[in-house]
Amino acid sequence: MSQVTDTLGEKCPLCANKQRLVPLWFQENTETWIKCDICNAWCHASCLKLPSEECDRIDEYHCPECTRTHGPSIYKVGIRKSKREHSKVNYADLENGLTGNPYKWKRVLDLKLFQKHKFRKIRGEQLTIDWVRWFGLEEPIIIENSDGLDMKMPHKDITVSEIAEAVGYDTPVDVIDVSTQQEIPDWNMYKWATYFDGPKRDQVLNVISLEVSDTSFGDSILRPRIVRELDWVENMWPNKKNIEYPKVQLYCLMSIKDSFTDFHIDFGGSSVFYHVIRGSKVFYFVPPTPSNLKKYSRWISSPEQSMTFFADLVKDCFEVKLVAGNTMIIPTGWIHAVYTPDDSIVIGGNFLHGFNIGIQLAIYDIEKRTNVPIKYRFPYFEKMSWYAGKYYNKILKEDSSSLSQWELKGIVELALFLLGFTGKLESNSESTIEERQLIKDNIPNEISDPIRLTKRLSRRINRIINQGNMDFDEEESEDQKVNLKSCRRDHDDNSGISREDNSVSTKIKLRVKKRVIDEDHEKSVKWAKTSSSVPRPPPYNYSIYSYDENDRESSTSPTPEEIAKVEQIIKEKIREFELENRKKNYKN
């Protein structure tokens, strides 16, 4: 009688190179295997056309190949099969020494009262780059029908087993135990498909971070047109073939009923597109106001986080329900949790863009201050910011009229962010050798002179603003004066910058004023049902930043303390500006 062993990882030699129309959960949990006592090969009983009952009567089994030399199998002694049954282990319980309750989140949500959202619902053909230039990306956008989004998604009946086959059964996957919100180690797509498509589930598990960009499955997906047009990685990162790049553009999320993802902000303040293929989702959104971001920062750093429902700490939390076929754009910085009422499959992706640069940088700062592990941050964020600086410097030089007021405001913030690095590279900086090297490592090779780049970026945004494309307050307080950047004259002489370039303003005066909207014009905009584009509206009447070219102090670089003060002023003023607009919108 041959010994019955676990067959996990074995391949049946009779069907190894054939496609089998058998669900993975059946293959893994109930399909009968039988082992040859001569060559020790395991085969599917179904491939041998042996009924399961007959396998029970075989004592010594000989496969077809071994039958030629050792004769037929010997019957009537023992059992030669494996049901591939595995012990049911709650990994989170073993690690934490407690029994988690995966359904506690549903009970918590049922006891809470959430506000009804007033976010925009638009048609796919309306969501164009011109629409974004007019309305911005300040609140979630819901598209109930994907027609007009110019995207390609998997068919609505796709299974996790099919996804596993497309991305590779051995592909590692991060699985989250919903009861503890902790990751479970050592899972791959084969094991996950077996769990998801199987008839028995002893845990509530969730997968929200399977990146599929460089797989055959990912190749069959096309993101919405608006995402492709906005995405910094898509438009600014150099040739992505054979080099590393931020692989965050395409995720497959697979959640079973009652899955819950606790409140979070997407890494690097990135925005997200979210399309429900199957099932349904419920989102709980908290606006990224200065007060809410401070509370969030304290909450994620608190040892009481697991015992505190974040929505209880804030004033406003909005509920949004999505069903199969719905698409949503989640803008920068929105704090949100997600509940899954039914088994669901979702395609989504993260992207940085130029319409909320300030909040993106603020979220990145929160991640650094709260020591978020590198694994959970936007990859190559600083390098991506340098590429963005190079890109916008070129746009400002060639055709600044193509930039919206949102982007012009953000370019100032981006310039200040990059100046924080170049200031530490100056010879008079107190930065350590390690700090300098880390900064240099994050500067792309394509940018040979980062100081020159930041100076020209500052000069060009200075000129655009002073040309009158924005309105400004005439009154400026002393504490709003910001030392933007001044590169050393000797550096300019060595870098080939012309004398004209040395006229860069070294002072920026910050002023944020309430947005003024032409309500009559907005009411007059009627989106045609069949139109795939909209007329470009006039820009918002903003007062954001003003520069004073005559206000110079010295040709030295700003100190780290000055830069930190600048960044803090910008963040506070922008938050006040956005909070005021949101309050007005919610009130209306």
When mean pLDDT is compared across 320-324, 335-339, 373-377, 512-516, the lowest value belongs to 512-516
Q: Which two tokens stand for residue 578?
A: 């956005």
Round to whole Å and give the CA distance between 68 and 353: 67
Cα dihedral 157, 272, 331, 339 sign: positive
Q: What is the pTM of this model?
A: 0.67
Query: What's the average model confidence in pLDDT over 493-515?
Result: 34
**Within-domain flag for 12:** no
Residue 187 predicted with pLDDT over 90: yes
Q: What is the pLDDT of residue 219?
A: 92
Q: How many domains does the chain have?
A: 2
Residues 516 and 368 in one domain: no
The residue among 576, 541, 140 whose CA lies nearest residue 358 is: 576
**Within-domain flag for 38:** no
Give the CATH number of the domain where residue 112 resides. 2.60.120.650
Whether 265 contacts 294, CB under 8 Å: no
The residue among 510, 519, 522 whose CA lies nearest residue 576 is: 510
Please, which residues bridge with residue 154 across strands? none
Round to whole Å and give the CA distance between 69 and 150: 62
Residues 137 and 101 in one domain: yes
Residues 260 and 339 in one domain: yes
Q: What is the pLDDT of residue 93?
A: 38
Round to whole Å and give the CA distance between 126 and 157: 28
**Within-domain flag for 576:** yes
Residue 529 predicted with pLDDT over 90: no
**Within-domain flag for 272:** yes
Q: How large a percentage of the chain has pLDDT more than 70?
A: 70
Q: Which is higher by pLDDT, 125 or 557?
A: 125
Q: What is the pLDDT of residue 243?
A: 76
- Looking at 103-215, which runs of residues are DSSP E strands? 115-116, 120-121, 141-143, 175-177, 182-184, 205-211
Helix (H) / strand (E) element for 464: namely: helix 450-464
Q: What is the pLDDT of residue 505?
A: 32
Residues 201 and 255 in one domain: yes
Q: What is the pLDDT of residues 85-131, one digit of tens each?
A: 333 333 333 334 334 577 788 888 988 999 999 999 999 999 999 99
In order of 53, 257, 550, 559, the CA distances from 46 in angstroms are: 12, 33, 86, 74
Residues 477 and 341 in one domain: no
**Within-domain flag for 456:** yes
Residues 279 and 252 in one domain: yes
Q: Give residues with Cβ within 8 angstroms of 231, minimum separation 6.
A: 223, 249, 351, 352, 353
Query: Residue 429 — pLDDT band, cuts 50, 70, 90?
Result: confident
Residues 255 and 123 in one domain: yes
The residue among 546, 559, 548, 558 whose CA lies nearest residue 485 is: 558
Query: Residue 557 — pLDDT band, cuts 50, 70, 90?
Result: very low
Look at residues 328, 351, 376 and tell me which one is the last residue of a structural domain.
376
Residues 350 and 223 in one domain: yes
When mean pLDDT is compared across 1-15, 103-117, 407-421, the lowest value belongs to 1-15
Residues 354 and 415 in one domain: no
Query: Residue 582 — pLDDT band, cuts 50, 70, 90?
Result: low
Q: What is the pLDDT of residue 214?
A: 87
Q: How large a percentage of the chain has pLDDT more than 90?
A: 44
Q: Which two tokens stand for residue 103?
A: 């359904």
Round to whole Å and give the CA distance between 384 and 231: 11
Q: What is the pLDDT of residue 496?
A: 34
Burial tier of 252 (Cβ tally within 10 Å: 0-12, 13-18, 19+):
buried
Residues 424 and 531 in one domain: yes
DSSP 63-77: -HHHHHHH-S-EESS
Residues 192 and 337 in one domain: yes
Residue 574 predicted with pLDDT over 80: no
Q: What is the pLDDT of residue 68?
A: 81
Whether 274 contacts 327, CB under 8 Å: yes
Domain with 153 in it: 91-376
- Mean pLDDT for the chain overall: 76
The residue among 335, 328, 173 whose CA lies nearest residue 261 is: 335
- Looking at 140-298, which runs of residues are DSSP E strands? 141-143, 175-177, 182-184, 205-211, 251-255, 260-264, 271-286
Cα dihedral 220, 224, 226, 232 sign: negative
Q: Which is higher by pLDDT, 74 or 416?
A: 416
Round to whole Å and give the CA distance between 248 and 253: 13
Q: What is the pLDDT of residues 41-81, one digit of tens each?
A: 888 887 777 776 677 778 888 888 888 888 888 876 443 44
Query: What's the average model confidence in pLDDT over 245-273?
Result: 94
In this structure, are strands 205-211 and 251-255 parallel, antiparallel, or unpaired?
antiparallel
Query: Residue 10 — pLDDT band, cuts 50, 70, 90?
Result: low
Helix (H) / strand (E) element for 345: namely: strand 335-351
Residue whose entry in the numeric block shows the structure tokens 């050393």: 488
Query: What's the average model confidence in pLDDT over 184-189?
Result: 92
**Within-domain flag for 44:** no
Q: What is the pLDDT of residue 492?
A: 36
Mean pLDDT comparison of 32-46, 259-273, 402-416, highest-scoring range: 259-273
Q: What is the pLDDT of residue 269?
A: 93
CA 52 to chain CA centroid, Å, is: 48
Residues 170 and 134 in one domain: yes
Residue 143 predicted with pLDDT over 60: yes
